[in-house]
Amino acid sequence: MKKKERLLVFEKYNGKCAYCGDELIKGWHVDHIKPIIRNSKYSHKKKMFITDGTCKNEYNNNLENCNPSCASCNIQKNSFTLEQFRNNIQQFVCSLNQYSTQFKFAKRYGLVSENDVKVKFYFEKTDQS
């Protein structure tokens, strides 16, 4: 993506992550709202997947399909659709209750509390788009 296009994506939500609403900092990502799913092959030499520059759903690789994202939201979203991403986040508390002794302990001492709210992304709370 060209620098000019990247700036347009950055400004889409005034320098904020389209998902969590945090201020974007150096290292922010451009997310494809509808995933493009990059093609990759496993490199035994490097012991990791390497993209080959092509992608599935090439038709989704356009500026209108891009959102500014903090690195953590984009990494968590991965190649999920928006609804898959929302459902994944919605399950975090259940997962913490099941697997995190620290979370359960912090809850017991009133340091954290659970809220049964629906996940609403920052871009859904603004009039911009």
**Residue 99 domain-assigned (yes or no):** yes
Res 56: pLDDT: 84
Q: 10 φ, ψ to 5°?
A: -55, -45
User: For residue 76, what pLDDT band results from cuts at 50, 70 and 90?
Assistant: very high
The tens digit of pLDDT for each residue in 8-67 reads 999 999 999 999 999 999 999 999 999 988 888 898 998 989 988 888 888 888 999 999
Query: If you search the block for the tokens 């259940």, which residue do you land on?
Result: 94
Query: For position 33, what pLDDT does the model report?
Result: 95
Task: Report the CATH number at residue 107.
Answer: 3.40.1800
Q: Over range 101-125, report the average pLDDT.
A: 94
Domain containing residue 111: 3-35+64-125
Residue 47, domain member (yes or no)? no
Res 129 pLDDT > 60: no
- How many separate domains does the chain show? 1
Mean pLDDT value across the chain: 92
At residue 128, the pLDDT reads 54
**3-class SS of residue 41:** strand
